[in-house]
Amino acid sequence: MKKIIKAVLIIITSIILIVIIAGIYKFNYLANQPGYDVDGNKIEEVHKSEVLSKWFNLDTTNDFYVKVPELKINCKITQVIDSDSLYYAKGKFSVGYEKGKVFISNREIVTLNNSTSNINYLVIPFSVSNQGSGLFKYIGLFKLNNKAKTINHIDSYFLGDRVKIDSIEYDGANNIQVKIKIHTKNQAMSEAPSELKLLEFKVRDGGLFGFKLLK
């Protein structure tokens, strides 16, 4: 009987030692793996906005949303495309049967002079595409809060379908001129637009006002 008890105790002790050794091995193994802390606990990944980080130097979990004007929904801008010839950000949206994408070019952003140390007002053109062949261009007004690390879409104005922005000129006060190219009556929409137009508008009271065609 004593031999049996002794054998059982040896087996139990061996099992306990194996469990302890396995636990120590797992702890040491996980502690050395990426994504785990020194105690072997999994580190929860924190989402950070790539666009706000790369474009505006904001280290934040807040996101950059663009209001899709016709659908009145928010599209989260999630991806930055950076290459030799392209530098833009994009996001996807879906509501019911309607799906599409929003594109923003970093090269077309204008910072207004009524900005402060914490608040920047930005004019940012953006394009919206859906399941069709159109690419709808807008001028957007955004409010960037450097302290809260947020950006809010305040207002928009529709420029046209498949138009090309040649330049955006700001007079340092309230007036902005946008030079665009549109399609002539004889042009196919698949062709590059060639007719030059000059638009002028004002930025005041947190909105876009007084759009007029100069030529």
DSSP letters spanning 162-206? S-EEEEEEE-SSSEEEEEEEE--TTS-TTSPP-EEEEEEEEEETT
Are 201 and 210 spatial neighbours (Cβ–Cβ below 8 Å)?
Answer: yes
The predicted pLDDT at position 125 comes to 94
Under 8 Å CB-to-CB from 135, ≥6 apart: which residues? 127, 128, 129, 161, 162
Range from 33-47, 107-121, 160-174 that averages highest in pLDDT:
160-174
Name the band, by pLDDT with cuts 50, 70 and 90, for residue 98: confident
22/107: higher pLDDT: 107
Question: What is the rounded average pLDDT of the residues 108-113?
Answer: 86
Would you give the end-to-end CA distance of the chain in angstroms?
A: 108
Would you say how long the chain is, in residues?
Answer: 215
**Mean pLDDT across the stretch 82-110?**
85
